[in-house]
Chain A
């Protein structure tokens, strides 16, 4: 499903060069629920952005759904992102002056669905996250947990094969975090592959697989299990 081989990503500013990812290799299979942990600044977000085609790696090979990403144009990458990938961010990133309905509408517009199909999908995904009654509300009128559920609905409306979540519970209290997590697990059961970055070891442990990124590299799997155990104790 997703295969990265020796991915490198470095950022160059006037004075320094930061290696956000080095020799990064990873394989994720269809239907997996992978959690990603690691210290702040270790390259987790960079990894998600490259996986989600928002950034291009400086080097290495990336295959998504069997397709080599390297040579694709902005247009093709954007279409792939639109059709195959759903994003969920820590800060929800809803568009503040659009109501919930219109927020969920955004990816469907770029998909080119007709009005009827868009309406059907918007209503269905709002129902999935339990916010059908709030379609005409603005994001600011909702709690954090509700906003994140809207963001999930927006990511789901396009029926992506692949959901990327960057600390989706980072801004939520533990009760709301658990609700969001349950929602993600439910989505995963229906076949969507999920990669979720989190700081919360409890949530990380609930995933089928946990990888840890340290200093821009996937650290040894055994080590990550060991760390996890330490965290649990």
Chain B
């Protein structure tokens, strides 16, 4: 019977092409607009680390100014987002976490001897080796550097797939040499394509930018006098007695991102005790003059805390749904007009043995057909809208301004829901009307 209703619906839609087009357009425009916004919001709220949400923690220590709490435009929990170098170095000595990562963004000038490739600057991450296993970075060739490279200078590098393609034509480059800032580095490994968006592990600058091209060990700071290419925040001037780069490493400037993996609650408790003890010990030495406070935050909460999805986006999401509702109301009016015009036919069907439900379902299916068609066109509108946003953002948010299958299904679902909603009242009206009225007026 469903097949019969669908064929009746298609015939009916073809019978009034302009009215049908208007109704389909109303649904399509509403679905297109709301899916554009909802897709952006959905992609922005992705958590690439969801499967590790109960073991990973971003570490914060309140080492900030005793005269005023840390404040980043009203966001966050009034603690610095990053650690000082000296605190990171101290925490790395703990063996409570299964894994721990200290890291920040940087940039290296890359040159390749005897090569056509001109020198260029590559996005770099300076990190301890646990980064790769903690964030599930897939390896293509070779391996990560050894543990000693986290604390002592070893000139070794891991490339991402794209850079390996650019430098070595995509072949296994393990053991080969690249020059970074004029110094030779040995390729330890190459990672496969990996580009989580938003970049949960570092939300400091653009959370939707691409992952880094080059990864080098944390032990190289002093040798290359590495500063952060991301955010560095400070509140006092460095100790005048310690000069130069060493002064920077000992300063209260925060610029190191720190994550730990704690397998269970016992471990977490232990780590909390460690942090408490550490802060107390530092207090005795005259640091950490604010009330004792630290943060261990799961990836999902970290995304919320960092307001990756702004309140504005949420409001826009609701506004787009309100717009869809307006489109639905329009569709209700058009459907009602159409159904009432066809009321005599419904009367004849009733006389020939259709019960009220049959008439109701027939008309509801007709409006669902409008929904499916509107949904398909709505997806096209949303894809257009998203590509427009990609163009306006100049590649800043390429990854999030695209629809996945789930979102396409959601679009169809939304369209059917909208059209069912639109069809409910007209279909009900028509099914409740006494058929004799239409049969008598002859």
Contact = CB atoms under 8 A, between A and B. Distances in A.
Interface of A: 45, 49, 52, 54-55, 74-75, 77-79, 81-83, 87, 89-91, 93-95, 97-98, 106-107, 109-111, 154, 158, 166
B351 A110 contact: no
Given A54-B350, A79-B353, A95-B348, A49 B436 contact: yes
Given A93-B348, A110-B358, A81 B353 contact: yes
B344 A78 contact: no
A83 B435 contact: no
Contact of A54 (B11, B358, B435, B442): B435
Name, among A77, A81, A111, the residue most crowded by chain B CB atoms within 10 Å (CB to CB): A81
Contacts of A97: 11-12, 15
27 contacts: A49-B436, A49-B440, A54-B351, A54-B439, A55-B434, A74-B356, A77-B355, A78-B350, A78-B358, A82-B352, A82-B353, A87-B351, A87-B352, A91-B442, A93-B344, A93-B348, A94-B348, A97-B11, A97-B12, A98-B11, A107-B352, A109-B4, A110-B353, A110-B354, A110-B355, A158-B353, A166-B439
B440 A45 contact: yes
Nearest to A98: B11
Interface in B302-358: 344-345, 347-358
Contact of A109 (B1, B11, B350): B1
Contacts of A81: 351-353
A50 B138 CA distance: 77
Given A95-B345, A109-B4, A78 B355 contact: yes
Nearest to A95: B345
Given A54-B439, A89-B439, A95-B345, A79 B434 contact: no
Given A54-B436, A89-B439, A93-B439, A79 B355 contact: yes
Given A45-B440, A93-B439, A95-B345, A52 B353 contact: no
Contacts of A45: 436, 439-440
Nearest to B344: A93
B15 A110 contact: no
Given A54-B436, A55-B434, A75-B357, A89 B352 contact: no
A90 to B, nearest CB: 5
A130 to B, nearest CB: 22
Given A45-B436, A97-B12, 19 more contacts: A49-B436, A54-B435, A54-B436, A75-B355, A75-B357, A78-B350, A78-B353, A78-B354, A78-B356, A81-B352, A89-B439, A94-B348, A97-B15, A106-B349, A109-B1, A110-B352, A110-B355, A166-B439, A166-B442
Contacts of B347: 93
The 6 closest A-B pairs by CB, nearest first: A82-B353, A78-B355, A107-B352, A91-B442, A110-B353, A49-B436
A89 B351 CA distance: 10
A75 B11 CA distance: 26
Contacts of B4: 109
Contact of A49 (B12, B348, B439, B442): B439
Contacts of B442: 89-91, 166
A91 B439 CA distance: 8
Interface string B185-221: 0000000000000000000000000000000000000
Nearest to B349: A106
Contacts of B1: 109
Most buried by B among A87, A93, A111: A93
Given A54-B435, A91-B442, A74 B352 contact: no
Contacts of A77: 355
A231 B230 CA distance: 106
B15 to A, nearest CB: 5
B287 to A, nearest CB: 81
Given A49-B439, A89-B439, A107 B353 contact: yes
A98 B442 CA distance: 21
A106 B352 contact: yes
Contacts of B357: 75
A109 B358 CA distance: 11
A55 B440 CA distance: 11
Nearest to A107: B352
Contacts of A98: 11
Interface in B417-441: 434-436, 439-440
Contacts of A95: 345, 348
Contacts of B350: 54, 78
Interface in B1-33: 1, 4, 11-12, 15
A193 to B, nearest CB: 17
Nearest to A54: B436
